[in-house]
């Protein structure tokens, strides 16, 4: 078994130049940092519209968020790649899909103008944007997940509804999540995580990043491939700060709603 120095992973970053709203490319930066700090090389390939791409040749797959116009730009190209991506995820490819990318990994996204963008059906879900005049889900988010508490922020108009039996990524402690009503956030299938959380997500949520990397290493080099622990002091202090702000901030939202009720 090669030690950290001999291991190498390949990351495919879908539409890195287009689907990068709120700096979601920070997820690729965090994965590269957490690999190189362990002596593991990470090759990152940006996959653009029309590029040749075989998901089976990669160890990790990520896609970031984008406003409706960016989603319209990439939707047809992504749909064409749907069968190969679904097959790779069914085979266990560790994947992270954020916000606009997450929406298009569902069955469809009905955008703010009522246009229907087909998704690739990784997650059993549909997203519908109620129209530009409706309130967006904007703010800090705190989730309970299988990786402990996860922090981030959301900014989306679309409301996502999971099919019966579709597992969420987490449940909302503070914030809106998929639709602001059923307490679900994101979706999970095999080793694929979909979420609305920007931040970007991975720098402040190392447990999620290391789930993706540990899974990729084991698939590439066998169960004996170890992900050495990293000093997480900086990440944990950032998480704690974000968690405190979110809990306090959500209280402010609650107080605002109560004041509204009292004024009626
Ligand atoms: N355009 C989508 C929405 O408004 C996704 C936004 C995003 O990726 N931040 O819901």
Does residue 179's CB lie within 6 angstroms of at least one atom of ligand 1? no
pLDDT at res. 2: 47
Residue 34 predicted with pLDDT over 50:
yes
Q: Which atom of ligand 1 has the smallest separation from the CA of 155?
A: 9
Report the predicted TM-score, pTM, of the whole model to 2 decimal places. Answer: 0.93
pLDDT at res. 249: 79
The candidate with the shortest Cα–Cα distance to 216, out of 227, 229, 204, 202, is 227
pLDDT bin (cut points 50, 70, 90) of residue 20 is very high
pLDDT at res. 186: 99
pLDDT at res. 264: 65
Q: What is the DSSP letter of 168?
A: P
pLDDT at res. 5: 62
Render 95-136 in DSSP notation, one character per residue. Answer: EEEETHHHHHTSSEEE-TTS-EEE---SSSEEEE---TTSPP
> What separation in angstroms does the CA of 248 have from each of 118, 177, 214, 252, 256?
38, 17, 33, 6, 12
Does residue 71's CB lie within 6 angstroms of at least one atom of ligand 1? yes
137-178 per-position pLDDT tens digit? 999 999 999 999 999 999 999 999 999 999 999 999 999 999
128-142 per-position pLDDT tens digit? 999 999 999 999 999
Lowest-confidence segment of 3-12, 139-148, 200-209, 235-244 by average pLDDT: 3-12
Q: In this structure, are strands 187-189 and 184-185 parallel, antiparallel, or unpaired?
A: unpaired
pLDDT bin (cut points 50, 70, 90) of residue 254 is low
Q: What percent of the chain has pLDDT over 70?
A: 92
Does residue 152's CB lie within 6 angstroms of at least one atom of ligand 1? no
Q: Is 129 a catalytic residue?
A: no
Q: How far apart are the first and last CA of the chain?
A: 68
pLDDT bin (cut points 50, 70, 90) of residue 199 is very high
Q: How far apart are CA 99 and CA 52, in angstroms?
A: 24
Residue 3 predicted with pLDDT over 60:
no
Tokens read off for 178? 């998929």
Of 13, 129, 156, 198, the active-site residue reads: 198
Q: Is 198 a catalytic residue?
A: yes
- Arithmetic mean of pLDDT, 255-263: 62
């Amino acid at each position: 078994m090669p030690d950290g120095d001999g291991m190498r992973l390949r990351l495919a970053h879908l539409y890195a130049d287009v689907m990068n709203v709120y700096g979601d490319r920070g997820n690729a930066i965090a994965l590269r940092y957490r690999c190189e700090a362990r002596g593991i090389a990470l090759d990152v390939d940006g996959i653009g519209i029309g590029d040749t791409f075989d998901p089976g040749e990669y160890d990790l797959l990520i896609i970031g968020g984008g406003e409706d116009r960016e989603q319209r730009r990439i939707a047809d190209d992504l749909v064409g790649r749907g069968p190969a991506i679904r097959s790779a995820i069914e085979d266990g490819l560790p994947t992270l899909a954020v916000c606009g990318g997450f929406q298009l990994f569902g069955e469809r996204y009905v955008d703010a103008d009522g246009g229907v963008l087909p998704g690739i059906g990784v997650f059993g879900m549909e997203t519908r944007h109620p129209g530009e005049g409706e309130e967006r889900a904007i703010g800090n988010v705190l989730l309970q997940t299988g990786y402990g508490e996860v922090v981030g922020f959301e900014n989306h108009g679309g409301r996502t509804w999971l099919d019966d039996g579709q597992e969420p990524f987490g449940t909302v402690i503070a914030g809106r999540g998929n639709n602001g009503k059923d307490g679900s956030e994101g979706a999970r299938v095999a080793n694929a995580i979909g979420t609305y959380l920007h931040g970007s997500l991975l720098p402040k949520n190392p447990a999620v990043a290391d789930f993706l990397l540990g899974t990729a290493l084991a698939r590439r080099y066998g169960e004996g491939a170890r992900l050495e622990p990293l000093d997480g002091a900086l990440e944990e202090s950032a998480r704690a700060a974000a968690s405190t702000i979110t809990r306090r901030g959500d209280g402010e939202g609650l107080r605002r709603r109560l004041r509204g009720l009292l004024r009626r």
